[in-house]
Every structure is written in C-alpha cells, then in structure tokens.
DNA sequence: TTAGTATCAATAATCATTCTTACCTAAAAA
DNA sequence: TTTTTAGGTAAGAATGATTATTGATACTAA
C-alpha cells in the first residue's frame, strides 16, 4: 500500500486514461476520493463526498461511474456487508475482515493463501475472488467487548 | 457430503430439537427442503417449494424461519450473488464458486486452506468466513463457452 | 382455565440499486 | 462556423429483495 498510490488529480487522470476511461470531472472526482481515502467506501459515502465539490451530482451518476470503474478494473467492489457495497481503489486480490462490534472493514493478509495463488480450482477458471471474514477485531477484543452490536 | 445428511422429516425434527428450535410444521418443511436439495437455494426458491405443501405460507415467514435457522446454525447463508442470498443445510465452513456462464453455484474444496484452519488472523477473532470464487466452470470451459452471460 | 409467551400470515414499508428519459456537452464532420 | 453525433449526466420513477409491523392464533405453565 505504502507509496503505491499517490493522491493527486494528475494521478487519477493518468489512471483513467490508462484504462480507456474518458476523464470527465465527475469521474476524476470519484476516482480521486477513492485514491485519497484508501479505504472501503459505500456508494452513498462517495456520493456525499463528491457532492461537496459538485453539488449538482446525483447518486445515479455515482453508481454509473462506479459500474464503469468496475468493468475497467480501476476499482474493486466488496460485498462484505449484506445490505450495501463498498468500493476501493486497491485492485489486487486480497481478503477483508468485518468486525461485528465496531463495524470496521479492513484488509486481511493470509500468509500463503492457495486461493490467491492459483488460476484454476478443480478445473474451474477463477476470474475473481472475494474472501470475507466476520468476527471480532483485535481492538475490540482488547476492549473485552464481546457482544456483537 | 455422502451420507452426512439423510432426508427424512425425522431427521429434520431431530436437528431442530438439537438446536433448541421448536419444530413447527413450517420450520420442519423449510428444513426438509434444504436437507433434500443439498443445494444452494434462494429464499424465493424455498418459498415456492414450501408453498406446494403449505399454500398459505408467506415469503415473510420463510425469511423469518431462515433467519432463525441462521442464528441457531442449522443453515449457512451465502451471498455469492449480488442481488439475493442462498441457503444450504451444509454448515461446515467451505468455499463457493459461481459460474458466469451457467450461473451454477457449487462447493469448492481448497486443499490446505489456511483461512479454514485458523481461529484468528493478525489478532482478529474469526467467527465466520465466506470464500467466493467467480469465473468459468469446468463444464462451460469444455463447451468453449468463453463469453459471460 | 387463564394469563403470558411465541409464532405466524399479511401487508406495508424500506432502501440500495437500476432504469428511463430528456437534456447537455464536446468533439467530429461538413 | 454550423451541424451532427455519441456519450455523459441529472432527476425521478421503478425494481425487488428484505424487514418491520400488527393482529390473530397456538402453545405453555401454573
Ligand atoms: Mn481492501
Ligand atoms: Mn455450499
Ligand atoms: Zn472492532
Ligand atoms: Zn458454468
């Protein structure tokens, strides 16, 4: 993660161009937000952030842009929460953890993960994978906060 | 899988009792359907099947029952499809594959999977996990059916 | 029996996401 | 420059799976 992404509009511009995405203002803004945050944001959260700079934008536009970004592989969509999607600029396959207590979502590194290292399983071609872990995060364990929200 | 489940109402009755679930007709019926199918069924599909025997039942009841079953760990819910959940009677942790072409969902066995063998990762306590794989299944590869639906 | 509790069906409500439509913009063509 | 064209966007309606609510019924324990 460190240094892989830098947070300038120039960078977003370059990345969009590299992926054959016409860089409109709205698309640049959405992409920059994801780059800057380096977090997992819902469409709603992204919409709220874009609206600060572009008050006229609509949620549907954000959804459309995220959909395009997904197809062009400039964002990763995760469905670790049942009721809504999150998006992130990190696109290399990696797993996620959702804490039942604090509801935080963060990346998980499984040391040698066979799932991440193979292209096929039992003859089936893997084009995408998602690993979701649910439980109690380290911080909440320390707080002895055992009951889920 | 072979022989682990048998498909009688007696078996459903026993399993519900073992999990402190009062065995109503509706609950037994939903459970039996999942046992018999040994597949991944949506709430809608389960509802349609229950309705054959119990025409008065409503979708909300099926959702309520599935929710109870989840809490009591007699079913496993998988969210490999973005728009709806599937349920299965198999409750030991295992991964799933969704084929983009034929839309089939099936179990995947990762030989030694560290994720399935550990209770904590980086200090975080894992209480549940889901591994979702997306791509082209063996059968569709054989058919040389390369384009997703 | 009777009060208290749990379950259920039906309906309405929720709410993230998608669809539809009309307008707008920017570049290509003339 | 003017016209054409394609694509992008905003707004609001529609979708559809799931959840909440509610009133009725069935079970349970004393
Ligand atoms: Mn991530
Ligand atoms: Mn399964
Ligand atoms: Zn936590
Ligand atoms: Zn297939």
DSSP designation for A49: H
**Could you tell me which chain B residue has the CA closest to the CA of A136?**
B125
Question: How many A×B Cβ pairs under 8 Å?
Answer: 112
B124: phi then psi, degrees, rounded to nearest 5: -95, 130
Is the four-CA dihedral B48, B51, B52, B53 of positive or negative sign? positive
- In this predicted model, what pLDDT tens digit does every residue of B7-39 receive, in sequence order? 677 788 888 888 888 888 889 999 999 998 878
Measured between CA atoms, how close is A114 to chain B, in angstroms? 7
Residue with token string 């973005």? B82
Compute how many other C-beta atoms are within 10 angstroms of the C-beta atom of residue A16. Answer: 20
Residue with token string 């709205």? A26
Q: What is the pLDDT of residue B7?
A: 65
Measured between CA atoms, how close is A4 to chain B, in angstroms? 23
DSSP designation for B119: S
The secondary structure element, H or E, covering residue B30 is helix B25-37
- Residues in B closer than 8 angstroms to A134, CB to CB, are 126-130
Contact criterion met (CB below 8 Å) for A89 and A34: yes
The residues that bridge with A135 in the sheet, in sequence order, are A99, B126
> Who's near B149: CB < 8 A, 6+ residues apart?
B100, B101, B103
DSSP designation for A139: H
In the complex, which nucleotide's C1' lies nearest to the CA atom of residue B77?
D18
CB within 8 Å: B100 and A126: no
pLDDT mean for each 10 residues of chain B (149 residues): 55 86 89 88 92 87 92 93 94 94 93 86 94 95 68
Three-class SS state of A116: helix
Tell which strand D nucleotides have any atom below 7 Å from a protein Cβ. 7-13, 16-21, 27-28
Domain boundaries, given as residue ranges, for chain B: 9-88, 95-143
Spell out the alpha helix ranges (H) of chain A. Answer: 9-18, 25-37, 43-53, 59-71, 114-117, 138-142
> Who's near B25: CB < 8 A, 6+ residues apart?
B54
> Who's near B125: CB < 8 A, 6+ residues apart?
A135, A136, A137, A141, B119
Q: What is the pLDDT of residue B5?
A: 45
Distance (Å, rounded) from C-alpha B103 to C-alpha B97? 10
Compute how many other C-beta atoms are within 10 angstroms of the C-beta atom of residue A144. Answer: 6
- In this predicted model, what pLDDT tens digit does every residue of A31-50 receive, in sequence order? 999 999 878 999 999 999 99
Q: Report the separation in Å between the CA atom of A12 and the middle of ligand 4, taken as the mean of its atom positions.
A: 36
Chain CA centroid to CA B11, Å: 18
- pLDDT beneath 50, residues of chain A: 1-5, 148-149
Cβ of residue A24 near strand D, that is under 7 Å?
Answer: yes
A87: phi then psi, degrees, rounded to nearest 5: -130, 150
Architecture of domain B95-143: 2-Layer Sandwich (3.30)
Contact criterion met (CB below 8 Å) for B41 and B106: no
DSSP designation for B73: T
Query: What does each C-alpha distance from B106 to B1, B30, B85, B95 come to in angstroms?
Result: 13, 21, 14, 9
Contact criterion met (CB below 8 Å) for B67 and B30: no
Contact criterion met (CB below 8 Å) for A87 and A66: yes
In the complex, which nucleotide's C1' lies nearest to the CA atom of residue A63?
C17
Three-class SS state of B124: strand
Contact criterion met (CB below 8 Å) for A77 and A112: no
Task: Give the CATH fold of the A9-88 domain.
Answer: Arc Repressor Mutant, subunit A (1.10.10)
Q: Which ligand does the CA of A76 lie closest to? A: 1
């Amino acid at each position: 993660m460190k240094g892989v992404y830098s947070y300038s509009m120039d960078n977003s511009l370059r990345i969009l161009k590299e992926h054959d995405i016409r860089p409109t203002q709205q698309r640049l803004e959405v992409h920059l937000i994801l780059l800057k945050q380096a977090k997992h944001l819902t469409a709603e959260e992204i919409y709220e952030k874009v609206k600060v700079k572009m008050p006229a934008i609509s949620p549907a536009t954000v959804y459309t842009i995220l959909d395009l970004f997904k197809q062009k592989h400039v964002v990763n969509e995760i469905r670790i929460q049942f009721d809504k999607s999150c998006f992130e600029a990190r696109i290399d396959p990696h797993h996620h953890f959702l804490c039942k207590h604090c509801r935080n979502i963060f990346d998980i590194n499984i040391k040698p993960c066979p799932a991440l290292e193979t292209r096929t399983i039992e003859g089936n071609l893997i084009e995408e994978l998602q690993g979701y872990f649910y439980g109690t995060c380290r911080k909440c364990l320390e707080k002895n906060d055992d009951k889920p929200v």
